[in-house]
Amino acid sequence: MKKLAVLLVLMVMALVGCTKGTSESGGDTAPQGESKDKVIIGFEADAGTLMANTDVNYATDAQIRNIYDPLIGRDADTGEYIPVLAESWASVDEHTWRIKLKDNVKFHNDKMFNAEAVKFSIDYMLDEKNNSFYRSRWENIKEVKVLSDTEVEITTKEPFPGLIERITVDLLIMEPSYVKEVGNEEAGKKPIGTGAYKFEEWSRDNYLKLVAFDDYWQGAPKIKAIEFRYIPEFSSRLSTFLSGEIDLFKNVPVDSVEKVKAGDNAKIEEVASSRINYLALNTFYDGPLQDVKVRQAINYAVNVDELLESVLNGHGTKMTGPLSQLNMNYTETKDYGYNEEKAVALLKEAGYKPEDIILTLDTPSGRYPMDVQIAQGIAAQLQRVGIKVDVKVNEWGTHLEKIRNREMGDMYILGWGPAFEPQSTVVDLFTKEAPYSGFYDEAVQAKIFKTVETFDDDERREGYNELQHTLVEQASWVPLWQQADLYAVKKDLNFKPRVDEEISAFYMSWK
């Protein structure tokens, strides 16, 4: 099998700046001159907003979860549900859920957390005028009723067995009187939550600064200040870390792992994430990819094993379907495998000469490990069967906006997660109205909605099993891999990466 090594050398030379810092001379992380009660985190992108329950975007969510608390969280190691602001939860019947809440929890402005705050935060997502990208995931909610200061009842239009997952992944609690007083715009710039850290200062595209909330209900944080410093490129994040200006960053380029380890005050932390990376084959765009045979041909033409070995140095777990192996209700699906002859034959069956097909491939730069190099590698592989590919490199925010606004062309690179259950993946990526969807088929969508509303565990599991096989047969995308998360961390910082990718300074400390 032909390797991509020579090709990638040429690509990297042509793409100076994508990983420029990875070839520079190394150096130990130097003391940054900051007191040891502060952590500076290098981050790939600014938050879209600091308003909770608005922006379906990891870059936003990872930062604001230090400001706001959820009702339900996850165990850092297993991903299982754990109570946060909720004490307990239970389904009364197929349409009704009751949640018992913690008492004596303060917001940053000394207002008390209660059931009204929960109702307000859910109603905010459901209100069309707030333009929440979570709204499509919560449209099944009929009513949120306050039973007492510490108990809410949620009723749904249809059975909603995945509601607890939606609450865990999506819902953060806002302070109602503050939002009503200052309005959404101001609350999105200067947020108030119940979290371990309070807002201090936000400089767009530069940094977000937070300070410890000493009245936090779980106790005063050991880390007294956080700064998220926005550094879009891998190379710049790496060099800034090696110079001692930041203490931690995620998504270390795989070709720089040994360089980080060589530092006297640096270490690599790795965890198998539940985030999945994939190549979207956009059926909303008027082009060849609306034909299932063309999509199948591309699945045969993309050599995932080669990309994993040659570009990611094995840091990732190959996927064959829409769900990762960490996802509940995962089932093994057909692996298309790499077969140039089948790819060409399918293109001809679809009525295309491979050399007549020109496709666009959009990728972010610096959001996922080696994302630009992956896109260039895919383009090179498709060229082997005669398909020409124009790779477009986007800033992360622009990339998301193009997807949401249905402005993407034929193909694009995206990750999804952390995903522990199938509903969010299949609903958000394979239905017509979901903001991040790149694939739609009427029969598949009907099956998705029927499955997510099935309360019986065995029937729902079988429904997801069928859906996974159908989505593979339809070549709804090219599944790539379950991401391996690599963090560069100062040796004297106590930090443990989580399978859900949460970066919470409350659990960090200096040795």
* Model confidence pLDDT, tens digit, residues 53-64: 999 888 999 999
Pick the closest to residue 426 from 472, 364, 374, 361 (CA basis).
472
Cβ neighbours, 10 Å, residue 76: 16
Domains of the chain by residue range: 38-49+190-271+485-510, 68-177, 273-483
Question: What mean pLDDT is predicted for residues 356-363?
Answer: 97
| Tokens matching residue 259 | 């360089």
Q: What is the pLDDT of residue 17?
A: 38
Say yes or no to pLDDT of 6 above 80. Answer: no
Q: Three-class SS of residue 74? A: strand
| Tokens matching residue 291 | 């034909």
pLDDT in tens, 252-279: 878 889 999 998 899 999 888 778 999 9
Q: Which residues of 7-28 are buried (b: 16+ CB within 10 A; e: fewer)?
A: bbeebbeebeebbbbbeeeeee
pLDDT in tens, 375-384: 999 999 999 9
Question: What mean pLDDT is predicted for residues 175-200?
Answer: 98
Q: What is the pLDDT of residue 136?
A: 87
Of the pLDDT bands very low, low, confident and very high (cuts 50, 70, 90), residue 35 is: low
Concatenating the DSSP letter of every residue in 322-346 gives: SS-TTSTT----------HHHHHHH
pLDDT in tens, 188-244: 999 999 999 999 999 999 999 999 999 999 999 999 999 999 998 888 999 999 999
Strands 316-318 and 477-490: antiparallel
Say yes or no to pLDDT of 16 above 80. Answer: no
Specify the CATH number of the domain 68-177: 3.90.76.10
Q: Which of 70-79, 82-91, 174-183, 426-435 has the least mean pLDDT? A: 70-79
Q: Outline where DSSP puts E strands in 173-319.
A: 197-203, 207-212, 225-230, 248-250, 266-281, 316-318
Q: What is the pLDDT of residue 5?
A: 41
Q: Which of 210-219, 248-257, 301-310, 435-444 has the least mean pLDDT? A: 248-257
Q: Which of 76-80, 309-313, 318-322 has the least mean pLDDT? A: 76-80
> Which amino acid makes up residue 285?
Y
Contact 64, 194 (CB under 8 A): no
Whole-prediction pTM: 0.73
- Its CATH class, for the domain covering 273-483, is alpha beta
CATH of 38-49+190-271+485-510, one of 2.40.50.100, 3.40.30.160, 3.40.190.10, 3.40.640.10: 3.40.190.10
Mean pLDDT of the chain: 91
Question: What mean pLDDT is predicted for residues 124-130?
Answer: 97
Q: What percent of the chain has pLDDT over 90?
A: 76
Task: Indicate the angle between helix axes 176-187 and 115-126, nearest 10 degrees.
Answer: 40
Contact 486, 257 (CB under 8 A): yes
Cβ neighbours, 10 Å, residue 303: 22
Contact 288, 352 (CB under 8 A): yes
* Cβ within 8 Å of residue 267, ≥6 positions away: 260, 261, 488, 489, 490, 491
Strands 38-43 and 225-230: parallel
